[in-house]
Structure 1
Amino acid sequence: GDGSVPTAEAFVQLVRLAYSIPNGIHLLISCAEKGRLTGERFKANYRMFIEELCEKRMPCLLVITKCDSDHPLDSWWNENKDLVRNQLKFEFIDCACVSTLKTNKRKPNDILEDYTESRRNLIQTIKQHSLSEPMPMDSWKRTALMYARSFYNNVLKWLGFEQISLRPELIKMLIELGYSPENAKREAAELLNGLKEQTLILPYQVKEV
């Protein structure tokens, strides 16, 4: 995420991950604009996905956007890596600073060159740090839904999000993943009922479509 995803939406995305990724995950990528890393929303999403869900077992690559005027492109990371790792306590395996602009009327060649370099560096960094074998999905799915339940009970209600606002988003998500409207409504209801349980001993069981 780019650190700007509302917490309720991040929760739905978390559940989507548990349902939709078939084989496993090789690498997590966290995107943020320059200046966004110190925001509370980015910190909350980092804790949810990196620390809690993945238990810091999976490499996470930081991608910093809006580096269009930086030369060299990685100057932001060179200047801020100690702050990110030692003060903010973010454990990113590496960082790629990118320009997302392709054209600029005043200096089109320079901008396109930065974009091309960004793309090349990002692809190379992803290849370098991706796990050779993906994290197994069975454990990921159980962990994701167990954490979703804990997250719902401990965070969402505290922030004021209730089932009435989550239910349509979960139904929409399940339909996009191939559930019929009727089955999506039933699955969303069962998921929300499961999230209200206080015990985390038994993980919520994902049913086949």
Structure 2
Amino acid sequence: MAMGKSFNVVIFGESGVGKSSLINLLFNKDIAETSDAALGCTFESKLYRGDREGHSFNIYDTTGLNESEKGLVKPEVAVGNLMKLINSLTDGIHLLIMCMKKGRINNAVSNNYQLFYDGIFEASVPILLVVTQCELDDPIDSWKIHNQALLRSQFKMNFHDIICVTTLNKGKHASKFKEEYTLSREALGAAIAQHSLKQPWVIKNFMDFLMVLLKRIWNIIASYCSFQKLPLSNLIYSIFQKLGFSDREATDKANTLLDELKHNHMSIKIIDVDGTEEGSTE
């Protein structure tokens, strides 16, 4: 790999799928808390900054849509946080990473793909699927072999690559999977370098982009649920309404989100992998 590259990457997925463990795997350090409890409370996103093999990595950890109401971050908060995160990324994005646990392909997987890749980034940014908890599989990419065609044909999800990994590096069973852990770390780093855009995807005019984005999200919702397509001025309100809010609540939340987007109110916790800096930006 060429030296000195910089990669801005957004990692997303529902609560508990192993996003923090994936970040720890990438940097080979226990820097990310393996819990989504703090994300979405004080800080709406986290930025992990660090170097690996001569390259600079900026990893944005954000929440996705959860399959059930048990998720720690509600759908309307996840959508709002994501819009605000995009507004704050002045340096652009090179790659998306969607994270899921090995197992069945549930509605949350499909919904997050539609929201992030199709709805927000309009298939303009490459996307990887990283499947965690694959340490017992032989070969380790067995899940990919058995499910890649299904993802494309039944769920209409086309990933640039699927990486099956183990993030297990501590505990009484970790010693059994040292080789798999090393291979997982190498595969993840290589996939990021291979599939990242050469030039980052950047929004030139966020408010113009926001209007197009909201229409796109609404059209995705409408196509699945047979809702009527609405004038642009009603889109934000309608998205919140279809998430289950009353007319008054939908109006209040839509107005609040628009105001926050205009003023770029976004709390990002910055964590330096080398431990030399930790702070936040708003």
Post-superposition shift, 1:50?
1.0
CA distance, structure 2, for counterparts of residue 114 and residue 87 of structure 1: 30
The 1:115–1:136 alpha-carbon spacing in structure 2 relative to 1, beyond 3 Å, is: same
CA distance, structure 2, for counterparts of residue 175 and residue 54 of structure 1: 19
Instruction: Give secondary structure in 1 for the equivalent of 2:197.
Output: coil
CA distance, structure 2, for counterparts of residue 120 and residue 141 of structure 1: 39
Q: Which residue of structure 1 aligns with residue 135 of structure 2?
A: 68
CA distance, structure 1, for counterparts of residue 192 and residue 211 of structure 2: 27
Matched, 1:154 2:233: no
Identity %: 33
Q: Which residue of structure 1 aligns with residue 91 of structure 2?
A: 23
CA distance, structure 2, for counterparts of residue 144 and residue 165 of structure 1: 16
CA distance, structure 1, for counterparts of residue 192 and residue 77 of structure 2: 26
Contact 1:10–1:45 at 8 Å: present in 2 too? no
CA distance, structure 1, for counterparts of residue 150 and residue 206 of structure 2: 30
CA distance, structure 2, for counterparts of residue 115 and residue 140 of structure 1: 40
The correspondence for 1:11, drawn from 57, 62, 79, is 79
CA distance, structure 2, for counterparts of residue 175 and residue 48 of structure 1: 20
Post-superposition shift, 1:147?
2.2
What does 1:49-198 align with in structure 2 at a 5 Å threshold? 49-105=116-172, 107-138=173-204, 142-144=208-210, 146-148=212-214, 151=218, 152-161=236-245, 162=249, 167=256, 174=265, 176=267
Instruction: Give secondary structure in 2 for the equivalent of 1:174.
Output: coil
Matched, 1:2 2:22: no
Contact 1:53–1:143 at 8 Å: present in 2 too? no
The 1:148–1:17 alpha-carbon spacing in structure 2 relative to 1, beyond 3 Å, is: farther
Post-superposition shift, 1:90?
0.2
TM-score by length of 1: 0.71
Greater helix share, structure number: 1
Instruction: Give secondary structure in 2 for the equivalent of 1:95.
Output: strand
The 1:36–1:174 alpha-carbon spacing in structure 2 relative to 1, beyond 3 Å, is: farther
Size of the aligned set, in residue pairs, is 175
Contact 2:166–2:181 at 8 Å: present in 1 too? yes
Q: Which runs of 4+ in 1 moved over 4 A?
A: 148-151, 163-168
Deviations 1:11-56 (A, max 9, x none): 122222232111111111111112353x223222211111121222
CA distance, structure 1, for counterparts of residue 207 and residue 94 of structure 2: 15
CA distance, structure 2, for counterparts of residue 117 and residue 165 of structure 1: 45
CA distance, structure 2, for counterparts of residue 141 and residue 52 of structure 1: 16
Q: Which amino acid aligns with 1:13?
A: N
CA distance, structure 1, for counterparts of residue 210 and residue 99 of structure 2: 21
Contact 1:104–1:111 at 8 Å: present in 2 too? no
Post-superposition shift, 1:146?
4.1
Post-superposition shift, 1:177?
5.3
Contact 1:23–1:137 at 8 Å: present in 2 too? no
CA distance, structure 2, for counterparts of residue 175 and residue 14 of structure 1: 10
RMSD between superposed Cα atoms in Å: 2.9
Contact 1:18–1:141 at 8 Å: present in 2 too? no
Q: Which residue of structure 1 aligns with residue 29 of structure 2?
A: none
The 1:142–1:114 alpha-carbon spacing in structure 2 relative to 1, beyond 3 Å, is: farther
Instruction: Give secondary structure in 1 for the equivalent of 2:204.
Output: helix
